Amino acid sequence: MRAASQAQPNIALVKYWGKRDAALNLPVVGSISITLESLWTRTDVRFVPGHKEDRVSLNGRSDEAEGKRIKACLNLLRERAGVDYGAEVASRNNFPTAAGLASSASGFAALVHAGARALGLDLSLAEQSVLARRCSGSAARSLFGGYVEWAHGTLADGTDSVARPLLDAEAWPLRVAVAITSTAAKQVGSTEGMRRTAETSPYQSAWIDTQETDLGVARDAIRERDFDALARIAEYSCLKMHALALAAQPGLLYWNGATVECMHRVRALRQQGVPVFFTVDAGPQVKAVCAPSAIEQVKAALRDVAGVLDVLDTALGEGARAIVPEAVEA
Ligand code: PMV
């Protein structure tokens, strides 16, 4: 009753923002993301018949808030398997947690992938994507590698709000530089931010109405490996999501000064002919997506921005996969 898995964070190029059902984590819009390679979560799950409690360790420590979400996720798996055993979960990230790098996406994708196998559940990746979505929305996308689309779905039970792969990472091997501009935990989490936006932002309906067009443009750009088209739609979707959230009351301002300066720097590079574009999620880090040939130049340019603490670098990677439990603590 033990299994371990690895999953990586994903970064949305056409953003998810807004829930049509908060309990089931059903999104009001579809989204398209890329799965990263060298940042990972590794999780070891063991169910112990007779045990009532769950024991959770994250990076070697217990964390009450995350522990609650993990327990809720384990409950979904137990319900599915018809058992009530407690679990021992050990999970490790090789990148800073809660620094706007989607650690919940890789975390819940790895947990569902390992937990399902530990319980002997024979679930397809699509079924695992549905379960992961209920634990953390964007985790639905981290089950798959490369370029991934998560459908908003229309069914009330959410069984059609599932992610699917669009294109393998090797088919278009872009790189991502992540400029870390703050390591403080964000003030307004995405669930509260989405709720506030839906209730108060006057742009909510325009956001929903224009998303299908954006998804179509991004799908075409990915199919045709058209970098300029992907750059335009990704920056547009990112800025539109932030404009929507900025117009909430009180406004959601996820950027700091270095975030804005990094965005300018990326645009200046692109104007000079360097194939690079930015995207920013509900936090101050800037992700610069570029052609492999441009990665060193992009990293150097971001490092040069005042207020940038560190620049991480990753290729695009695969989806969730089984690993040996020993690899979690290695
Ligand atoms: O999965 P959540 O609830 O953390 O929401 C993620 C929201 C964004 O990262 C801002 C956009 C996205 O599509 O990942």
The answer to whether residues 294 and 153 belong to one domain is no
| Tens digit of each residue's pLDDT (9 = 90 or more) over 159-212 | 999 999 999 999 999 999 999 999 887 789 899 999 999 999 999 999 999 999
Kindly tell me the burial class for residue 202, based on how many C-beta atoms sit within 10 Å of its own C-beta (0-12, 13-18, 19 or more): exposed
Dist CA 106 CA 112 (whole Å): 10
Query: Do residues 212 and 288 share a domain?
Result: yes
Amino acid, res. 122? D
Residues 198, 289 within the same domain: yes
129 and 225 assigned to the same domain: no
Answer whether 237 contacts ligand 1 (Cβ < 6 A): no
Residue 74 has what DSSP assignment?
A: H
pLDDT mean over 262-267: 98
Report pLDDT for 69. Answer: 93
H or E element at residue 276: strand 276-279
Same domain as 142, residue 9: yes
Question: How many domains does the chain contain in total?
Answer: 2
CATH number of the domain that 86 lies in? Answer: 3.30.230.10
Q: Which atom of ligand 1 is nearest to the CA of 281?
A: 10
Ligand 1 touching residue 254 (CB < 6 A): no
Question: In this structure, are 184 and 157 located in the same domain?
Answer: no
Q: Which among 73, 74, 80, 69 has a CA at the least distance from the CA of 51?
A: 74
Verify that 151 and 277 share a domain, yes or no.
Answer: no
Q: 162: CA distance to ligand 1 center in Å?
A: 15
- Lowest-confidence segment of 58-67, 176-185, 303-312 by average pLDDT: 58-67
Ligand 1 touching residue 12 (CB < 6 A): yes
State the burial class of residue 98 (Cβ atoms within 10 Å of its Cβ: 0-12, 13-18, 19+): middle
Establish whether residue 240 lines the binding site of ligand 1, counting it when its CB lies within 6 angstroms of any ligand atom.
Answer: no
pLDDT-derived band at 158, boundaries 50, 70, 90: very high
Distance in angstroms (rounded) separating the CA atoms of residues 15 and 189 = 16
**Residues 6+ away with beta carbon under 8 Å from 216:** none
Q: How far is the CA of 17 from the centre of ligand 1 (A)?
A: 7
- Phi then psi for 58, rounded to 5 degrees? -115, 120
Q: Which residue CA neighbors atom 4 of ligand 1 most closely?
A: 190
Written as six digits, the tokens of 330 are 């290695």
Q: Would you say the pTM of this structure is higher than 0.85? A: yes
Whether 211 and 165 share a structural domain: no
Residue type, 256: N
Whether residue 189 sits in one domain with residue 85: no
> If you take atom 10 of ligand 1, which residue's CA is the nearest one?
281
Considering the domain architecture, whether residues 229 and 265 belong to the same structural domain is answered as yes
According to the model, what pLDDT value does residue 95 have? 84
Cβ of residue 137 lying under 6 Å from some atom of ligand 1 = yes
Q: Determine the structural domain holding residue 301 and report its residue range.
A: 175-315
